[in-house]
Every structure is written in structure tokens, then in C-alpha cells.
Structure 1
Amino acid sequence: MSYGHAVQDELREPGRALRRAIPEVYDGYRTMHAAAYAAGALDEKTKELIALAIAVSKECDGCIASHARGAARTGATESEVAEALGVTIAMNGGPATVYGPRAFAAFREFAEEADPQGG
């Protein structure tokens, strides 16, 4: 198991428990999330790349795993992710050189699952 799955596995049960405790908050968040990520002037892939860059900036491992998976699911390429992470490093400096590689590893993990033939 590598980075992306490890983080998601670690957060799965605590996340479920909190959702059960405050379902209205999570329902509101889910509605906002769906509206924010819906295709519009920007497509879903671009929005996932933005979210991944922000996740690295915020140093949020759970967010990184989620948006690396989202980037893979929406068809982002390794080059697109790398360039988005390059901008993140330019904007955030040293911390992004730690969290950027985590994001890149998570993306590659999820992309491999989406296309196990690598093509």
C-alpha cells in the first residue's frame, strides 16, 4: 500500500464516525463540494488540479490523497500534475517540496489503478 491509500485508510473510520455525529454539516459540505467541482467555465480536471495544488499548499495529507485520486479519475496526466505541483512549489517554497512529492506519488498510485497498462 502506498501513500494515497494509506492516508485514506487511516481517515476512513474516524471520518465515518464524525459524519454520523454531525450529518447536517457533512450534507451541507457535500452540496457545496458538488457545486464547486461541477464542470462550468473550468472543467472538472482543471478544478481537481487546482484543488491538488491547494492541498499541497495547506499541507493536508487527506486532501492530497482525495484530490490526487480526483485528478486521476478526471484524466489528468502525469505532466499536468507535475506542472501544477511546480507552480505550488514556486508559490510555497520549501514546504511544497515535501508535500508536492507526496501528491505526485499519490497521483501516480491512483493513475496506475485507473490505467494498469500504463497507456
Structure 2
Amino acid sequence: MTTHGHYHDVLNDLNPQHRDLRQMIPDVYRGFGEMSNAAFASGAMDKKYKELIAMVIGVVAGCDGCIASHARGAARAGASKQEAAEAIGVSILMHGGPATIYGARAYTAFCEFADAAAGDAQ
């Protein structure tokens, strides 16, 4: 059995909030979903790199929900811990001290989802 951690809880806590708002503005969420599907579709760049980019934008924005969502997406898309760490390193270069805090959170989140995926695969 896989043990889920903090970043699984972050996503679980946000789900009912998203559901409530989505019921009020379904067209906005539908449009956002379509844009998300288009943006993350593999093309010249694989989905894993797009998810890593989104994760480090979450680092720069200081958004734990974004970090959790895209850390999970990157892990599911096959990104390695080293790839996640190096992407986070770029966010630290570009954003400085605050990125060292949210970057550490993002790496923890990525490892949580990667380890859960590895445990589920066994």
C-alpha cells in the first residue's frame, strides 16, 4: 500500500473547492481544461518537460497547489528526480531566495509523487 504525504493532501484539499467553483462557472473551467490539454500535449516538447516548466512556474509564483499538481504531472510523465532538481535550479537562478523555499517544496512534492508512482508500479 502506498503512503501518501502532504502534497497529495494539498490536492485533496483543493478538489472540493475547485468542484464548488466549477459548478458556478463551468464554461470557464471547460475552457481552461481545453487550454490545459492543448498546452500539455506532446509535440516538439515532451509532456514531462512542459510539466516541469509548469512546476517551476509554481515555484516562482509561490503556489503550493500548482507545485503539487505539476509535480504529480511531471512524475506521471516520467520525469526523473534529477530532471526535477535541475528545473528547480533554473527557477532559483531566475527568482532568487524565494525560489529556494518553494523549490525545496517542489522537490519534496516531486519526490512524493515519484516515489508513490514507483510504489504503485511494484
Name the TM-score class by shorter chain: over 0.9
Amino acid at match of 2:91: T
1:53 & 1:70 partners in 2: Cα distance?
Answer: 12
Question: Gaps (5+ residues) in structure 2?
Answer: none
Normalised by the size of structure 2, how large is the TM-score?
0.92
Task: Tell me which residue corresponds to 1:89.
Answer: 92
| Identity fraction in percent | 55
Q: How many residues align?
A: 119
Provide TM-score, normalisation by structure 1: 0.94
- Unaligned runs of 5+ residues in structure 1 are none
Give yes or no for contact 1:52–1:68 (8 Å, CA) kept in 2. yes
SS in 2 for 1:42: coil
Task: Look up the equivalent residue of 1:95 and give its one-letter code.
Answer: P
Which of these residues, 10, 23, 27, is aligned with residue 20 of structure 1?
Answer: 23
- Pick aligned residue for 2:102 from 99, 104, 113: 99
Runs of at least 4 residues off by over 6 Å: none
Distance 2:111 2:7 in 1: 9
Q: CA deviation at 1:79?
A: 0.3
- Is 2:78 the partner of 1:79? no
Alignment of 1:32-47 (within 5 A): 32-47=35-50
RMSD: 1.6
Deviation by residue 1:10-62 (Cα, 9 ceiling, x = unmatched): 21111100011110000000000100110111110110111111110111111
Query: What is the distance in 2 between the residues matched to 1:88 and 1:4?
Result: 20
